[in-house]
Amino acid sequence: MAEPMLKAIVGSENIKFEKVWTNKELKLGGKTIQFLSTPNLHWPETMSSYIVEDRVLFSGDVFGSHYFDSRVFNDLVGDFSYAFQYYYEHIMRPFKSDVIAALKLYEKLAIDMILPLHGPLLRKNPKSYLKLYETWSQKTKRFDEKEVVSIFYVTSYKNTKQMAEYILDGLESHENLVANIYDVTALEEQNILSILEESKGVLVGMPTINADAPKPIWDLLSCMMLLEKKGKIAACFGSYGWSGEALNMIHNRLKDLRFRVPLEPLKIKLIPTKAEKLECYNFGITFGEIVNGKMMEMSL
């Protein structure tokens, strides 16, 4: 991937390449450069390199921050910890698994200084920055071994809310699941991110308003670009009046975001009837079974 990209940037096909990968070394100007493949941090082909003789790690975007201070070194500049964390949250967080893989490579190195592409050069306690990345990339499970399913809904006349509550009952029939339910309009973005991150299953409910999904639902889904989607399962549901466009839009958006979306949207016209409430309950049961790995979508 890097080769065509470099050719496009330079505007020439006439370039000689020597391909490198993890553990490949190059001797140049009396120095030994070791290469480390650190993909997705934050371009697909990203690499880091390490100069053996100087114990210097060129980490690329990893350990970067959008922070400028002409004193350059981390022990001379002002407090940039907020910028360091902000950069992690917005650039690295969607690729936590890749961060953990990169840290495994870095940990083997004796490092005197880290030179990221952005922000201060890290010569004081360079390994402390590895520790910070490690802490932020931990995938903690707050509920022992239980999987978490979170329902996010928006409602105007409580029709979708009713659906959400019956779906919740269905989910709660699974003892080994933790089910959450949230009115999206009452949540702050930081809270949404933490909830989404710990949820293996995500259910999104909304009415159709003017042939679209309400803005808080689009805002909720836009948060997903800051998170890792690997292994997450999603579905959507909602009440509608006559056309119900929001459901297919959100269903497709969830797929585009690379969730696994095994169920068709559950659409209910206006106020759920008794039979439709049961349908919602069963939807919750089925979704819970999929999250628990007991039912694959192929068998549905």
Q: Identify the three-state secondary structure at position 181.
A: strand
With binding defined as CB under 6 A, does residue 14 bind ligand FMN? no
Measured torsion, CA atoms of residues 12, 16, 19, 25, in degrees rounded to the nearest 10: -130
When asked if residue 50 is in the footprint of ligand FMN (CB under 6 A), the reply is no
Contacts 24+ apart (CB under 8 A), 189-194: 189/219, 189/223, 192/152, 192/220, 192/223, 193/223, 193/226, 193/227
DSSP 131-172: HHHHHHH----TTTT-EEEEEEE--SSSHHHHHHHHHHHHHH
Does residue 208 interact with ligand FMN by CB under 6 A?
yes
C-alpha dihedral sign at 259, 262, 266, 267: positive
Among 160, 177, 217, 251, binds ligand FMN (CB under 6 A): 160
Q: HSE-up of 51 (CA within 13 Å, CB side)?
A: 12
Among 243, 274, 298, 299, binds ligand FMN (CB under 6 A): 243
3-state secondary structure of 228: coil
Binding of ligand FMN at residue 183 (CB under 6 A)? no
215 binds ligand FMN (CB under 6 A): no
- In whole angstroms, the minimum distance from the beta carbon of 93 to ligand FMN comes to 32
By CB under 6 A, the residues from 57 to 116 that bind ligand FMN are: none
DSSP codes joined into one string, 29-82? TTEEEEEEE-TTSSSTT-EEEEETTTTEEEEETTT--S---TT-BTTTS---HH
Half-sphere exposure of 29 (CA within 13 A, CB side): 3
Q: What's the rounded Cα separation, in Å, for the pair 52 and 71?
A: 26
Q: How far is the CB of 207 from ligand FMN (least distance, A)?
A: 3
Nearest distance from C-beta of residue 214 to ligand FMN, angstroms: 8
* Candidate residues 60, 64, 201, 244; the one interacting with ligand FMN per rule CB under 6 A: 244
Q: Does residue 207 interact with ligand FMN by CB under 6 A? A: yes
Is position 193 an interface residue for ligand FMN (rule: CB under 6 A)? no
Tell me if 211 contacts ligand FMN by CB under 6 A. yes
Interaction between residue 48 and ligand FMN (CB under 6 A): no
Residue 272 interacts with ligand FMN (CB under 6 A)? no
Q: Map residues 130-159 to x or -, x wherever contact with ligand FMN holds by CB under 6 A.
A: -------------------------xxxxx
Output the smallest distance, CB 277 to ligand FMN, in A: 14
Q: Is residue 241 involved in binding ligand FMN (CB under 6 A)? A: yes
Is position 240 an interface residue for ligand FMN (rule: CB under 6 A)? yes
Interacting residue ranges for ligand FMN, rule: CB under 6 A: 155-160, 207-211, 239-244, 270
